[in-house]
Amino acid sequence: MLRANIALIQAFNVTLYDMAVTDMSGRVHLHLGGQAGHHYLTQTAEGGTLTVRATTLDAMFPAGDIDVLKLDIEGGELAALRGAQGLLARRGIKTIVTEVVDEHLARSGGSRLELLQLLTAWGFTGDTLNRSGLLGRSVPTSEMMFRLL
């Protein structure tokens, strides 16, 4: 679905990678949710899981920078950012747009507070986005944008 959407809007500056992003490289278990877009990484192989390749953001971008990092990985945001310590240390990510859903973070062993503390420690400040992607308007969503100070 993502590949089709990228082709539809002709986003030629977007690169897709067929792998999970987390805090380790290797193979991980992907739980298939009841509908598209509700899949998440899990510690155990159980019914409804696939084994998929995984990598870290540091391994994907050992020298390059990321202007905008979009994370919507059903609670895996903390693990993905832990796998980006090198990028974060060299200030190689300028903007992060991420979904922040408490139950998804808890399922992965994290919390909203932990995510906010991690990003604040690396020099980011955050704002909530609304349904039209604007800051500081009504009808908030679970999307947040963090900018490097």
pLDDT digits over 76-125, tens only?
999 999 999 999 999 999 999 888 888 888 988 899 899 999 999 999 98
Mean pLDDT over 15-22 rounds to 86
Scored b (16 or more CB within 10 A) or e, 33-43 reads eeeeeebbbbe
Whether residue 137 is predicted with pLDDT greater than 60 in this model: the reply is no
Tens of pLDDT, residue by residue over 55-72, are 999 999 998 899 989 888
**Closest by alpha carbon to 41, among 5, 71, 69?**
71
Total number of domains constituting the chain: 1
Tell me how far apart the alpha carbons of residues 114 and 105 are, in angstroms, rounded to a whole number: 9
Residue 20, C-beta contacts closer than 8 angstroms, at least 6 positions apart? 28, 30, 41, 52, 53, 54, 55, 73, 76
**Cα-based angle 103, 25, 111 (whole degrees, multiple of 5):** 20
Hey, is 67 helix, strand or coil? strand
Residue 15, C-beta contacts closer than 8 angstroms, at least 6 positions apart? none
Mean pLDDT over 133-140 rounds to 48
Residue 7, C-beta contacts closer than 8 angstroms, at least 6 positions apart? none
Whether residue 30 is predicted with pLDDT greater than 50 in this model: the reply is yes
Tell me how far apart the alpha carbons of residues 92 and 111 are, in angstroms, rounded to a whole number: 24
At 27, the pLDDT band (50, 70, 90 cuts) reads very high
Cβ contact 87:67 at 8 Å? no
| Domain extent for 101 | 2-148
User: Torsions phi, psi of 124, nearest 5?
Assistant: -100, 150
User: Torsions phi, psi of 105, nearest 5?
Assistant: -60, -40
Whether residue 139 is predicted with pLDDT greater than 50 in this model: the reply is no
CATH number at residue 129: 3.40.50
